[in-house]
Amino acid sequence: MHTITLNKFRDNMKSFVEHVVSQHLPIRVTRRNGEDFVVVSAEDWEREQETLYVLQNSSLMQQIVASARTHAEDAGYRPADEETHEILGL
């Protein structure tokens, strides 16, 4: 994570925000009083929130583990050709 001072951020805010949004890289902004903050795009924030939700939900985590197991064993659900064509729009 890139770190800059508040003054530098304020002076170049538009370019820093464009960089955060386009590159999906947060920026840590330091303040003299030590209370730093992070600038992150809304899309990245929402993605992080979804990840935290899944990680904190034991039921979802159990489903992911079970799915990974069946995939590793090549024992998962196999859609019929009709279903595959419908999904792919063929």
Q: For 74-85, what is each residue's pLDDT tens digit?
A: 888 888 999 999
Q: What is the pLDDT of residue 35?
A: 93
Confidence label for 10 from pLDDT (cuts 50, 70 and 90): very high
Task: Write out pLDDT tens, residues 37-65.
Answer: 999 999 999 999 999 999 999 999 999 99
**Same-domain status, 36 and 13:** yes
Beta strands in 1-90 (DSSP E): 2-5, 27-30, 37-39
Domain extent for 14: 2-41
**Same-domain status, 60 and 74:** yes
**Same-domain status, 37 and 53:** no
> Coil, strand or helix: which one is 78?
coil
**Same-domain status, 36 and 59:** no
**Same-domain status, 47 and 77:** yes
- Write down the pTM of the prediction: 0.67
**Same-domain status, 82 and 67:** yes
- Taking the CA atoms of the chain, what radius of gyration do you get in angstroms? 21
Total domain count for the chain?
2
Q: What is the pLDDT of residue 69?
A: 93
**Same-domain status, 50 and 84:** yes
Q: Which of 38, 41, 34, 29 is nearest to 4 (CA)?
A: 29
**Same-domain status, 84 and 52:** yes
Q: What is the pLDDT of residue 8?
A: 97
**Same-domain status, 33 and 62:** no
b/e map 45-75, b = 16+ CB within 10 Å: eeeeeeeeeeeeeeeeeeeeeeeeeeeeeee
**Same-domain status, 11 and 48:** no
Question: Which residues on adjacent β-strands are paired with residue 83?
Answer: none
